[in-house]
Amino acid sequence: MAGQMVEIRWHARGGQGAKTAAMFLAESVLDKGKFGQGFPEYGPERRGAPMRGYTRISDTPVRRHCMIEHPGIVIVLDPSLLDSPAAGVTAGTGKDTVFLVNTTETPAFIRKKLGVDGATVHTVDATGIALDAIGRPIPNMPMIGALLAVNDMMTVDDLNASLVKQLGSKFSQKVIEGNVAAVERANKELVSE
């Protein structure tokens, strides 16, 4: 029997790092004794095209390999997707869904815009934070930092250790440090109402 499972859907545009984030998160939780599965939805691969990613986190091995139909958490990396019915940000969601949106708007504004009365909406300016801390508008890692403010799958320190471990060989020390700083800021600056 499947244990407690968190199902996350990522909405982004190609190039914003949603695929990396979805798969990175799945690997990061292994050190916490949890099991992860991460995958993007593949279609035409173009920078800027709307895309989705998926992550499952569970206490027991994840066996199912279907799409996530009813996500517990929806993470929106690009606020312009909120205006796109084709992006399907609210598809399969309900009152129990938690939305985490990268935006400078307030949760109340986003809730109204999405038409999700009663759902929990958190916002954070992940792009602004990424520009400040990393120097590039890649909001994926700060959004994971923000996610850890609403879910205790691991701590911010765990995430940062994972960042160094998984990405240390691919990116410069400066980029890693920037991401660590961005994660910590986003974790603190998440707005909830």
Positions in the binding site for another protein (CB under 8 A): 1-2, 22-23, 26-27, 30, 35-40, 42, 61-67, 69
CB of 115 to another protein, least distance (A): 25
Residue whose token pair is 């809730």: 111
Q: In terms of CB distance, is 26 or 183 closer to another protein? A: 26
Q: In terms of CB distance, is 3 or 135 closer to another protein? A: 3
Q: In terms of CB distance, is 66 or 86 closer to another protein? A: 66
Residue whose token pair is 């600056």: 189
* 98 strand-pairing partners: 73, 120
Please give the structure tokens belonging to residue 77.
């990396």
Residue 54 · residue 88 · CB < 8 Å? no
| Closest residue by Cα to residue 68 from 43, 38, 98 | 38
CB of 60 to another protein, least distance (A): 10
CB of 165 to another protein, least distance (A): 11
Helices (H), 81-155: 107-114, 126-133, 140-147
CB of 140 to another protein, least distance (A): 14
Residue 191 · residue 120 · CB < 8 Å? no
CB of 33 to another protein, least distance (A): 10
Q: In terms of CB distance, is 61 or 85 closer to another protein? A: 61
Q: In terms of CB distance, is 68 or 191 closer to another protein? A: 68
**110-117: long-range contacts, CB 8 A cutoff, minimum separation 24:** 110/82, 113/82, 114/82, 114/89, 114/90, 115/90, 116/90
